[in-house]
Amino acid sequence: MNLPEADKRKITGILGMLASNHDGERASAALLLTRLLAKHGARPEELLNGKANGNGGSSHGILLHQALRENANLRSDMVGANQRITRLVANNTAQLQEIRALKDRLRAASFSPPPPREEAMTGREEVAGLLGRSDIRWTDWEREFLESIARWRGPLTSKQEDVLNKIRAKAGQQDAARKAAAGIWG
């Protein structure tokens, strides 16, 4: 079949559209090509073997083959790119969730250190004094605690401070009992 030159130019333009990056444009191009060839009683396959161009040549067939091959390559590239994008989006989403969780943990964990105690003795001097008192019967645990506090280099935690206050109270009770006994016996 011999196609008019105007239709050959249209086919050349349509073949260029088959290499588009847009699915819709490629689908429209395939539909236009099919309709244009059907108007002349030809099918797209006939372009491949050169029957539709009427001159026995295969220039349109070569172009169509090339466009279809490029189209398949582009589709493959797009599928790969979409898969990579999907993985990146999932990874970014996971990282954002991790960042939010870390920020929440940081906010929850932020605290102010307790203000320094204003005492005549330093904490280490007081602990050394408590350890040195032979008039108080310390439990093994109390003695180990006082020894660990004597080696402690940072500010005391609130729990350490609470335990130390209980030990101070025990020492104060011993002092009060000794004074009371001295008053009775004195």
Place of tokens 């969780």: 101
Question: How far apart are alpha carbons 11 and 59 in whole angstroms?
Answer: 11
Q: Encoding tokens for residue 165?
A: 């206050």
Higher pLDDT, 176 or 58: 176
Place of tokens 């236009």: 32
Residue 88 has pLDDT above 80, yes or no: yes
pLDDT in tens, 152-169: 888 888 998 899 999 989
pLDDT in tens, 101-127: 888 777 777 655 555 555 444 677 888
pTM for this prediction: 0.34
